[in-house]
Chains A and B, each alone.
Chain A
Amino acid sequence: MSFIDKPFRDYAPGTQPDNDSPAYKSTVLRHPAQPRVKIPQTVTELAGPRFSPEKFPPTDNIAVNKGKEALGERIIVEGRVLDEDGRPVPHTMVEIWQANAAGRYNHERDQHDAPLDPDFKGIGRVFTDADGAYRFISIKPGAYPWGNHANAWRPNHIHFSLFGPGYATRLITQMYFPGDPLLALDPIFLATADEAARNRLVSVFDLSITQPNWALGYRFDICLRGRNATPMEDADAHHH
């Protein structure tokens, strides 16, 4: 059994949200009531899709559209995608999407009474390099109201979608911004029991990423499931 065949580790307790989180109202009729069935990871779960920049061209500066600058506070977001052992996840695709500076998505179903920006589409795609590092340029997304409860507002956030090395490493998450007072009121953010885990969704302002007279820099590192260190097959291998 090769390294690549080693199963991915279970999530650490409390570090993932429970789909049965009634404070977030959309979960009520959408969360499965039956317990999930635990299955072994087979080739289906251990392998996963590969995306190449040739077939899936990157867009790493979404603060500009057809040469025109989007409105808002220009930001640079930079980070590394690592596994739980701190190993880089190289050449993996990162998809991003977000609201504009006024807190409005360029999406027909978003009816928030805030202006659209013709120069901001709010979608990007980047790939990590050999060290797992990624970087993109955007504008800081605005907060926006939503219908979950009276006077509910989503904190400023950028959506991330990652695949990683296997089907079992799929991750969809949201990056937040430091010091946002809405985080303490947000049922989506608060649905994860482990406070340290959810606080890792908050990016860090970084003066070393910040470019003078141009853009503020934020660091957001992402961790994907690592491989189990001691599968049974390893013990067997030592006897050969």
Chain B
Amino acid sequence: MKLGVFRQALLLILLAEVPAIGQAVYFRHKISWQSRVPATQLVNLPTVRTWGANVLWVDARASDDYETDHIPGAISLNEDHWNELLPQFLAQWSADRKVVVYCSAQSCNLAGEVARRLRDEAQLKNVFVLEGGWEEWVKNR
């Protein structure tokens, strides 16, 4: 009797696995929370804090969000106004400072895009994306 119930439970779990596996295969490239930023370009907040003053924060969120609140000293740089904001950022940049870009959440790819353009277009080195983004900063400020 006990074995029968166990086998039935197992059968039901196996039945549920079929659509689950199908969905996992079908959506393998469409996972909304998947970060497109390579792990080597991500940095966590405790590590950034060890860098002290040698950090240049970049806020990749929309300008309205930046105006509302931002990490002290952060410079606004987003793709809505990239051409206009980039020179303002570059005027503050120096080779000895690490650039840390953040946006509103890890699932948001704005920071990843801004970091990529800084590396590819302005050819800057030492550009990182903050793990957990703005929310992580707010939680630990």
A-B interaction: no
Q: Measuring CB to CB, which residues of chain A are less than 8 angstroms from any residue of chain B?
A: none
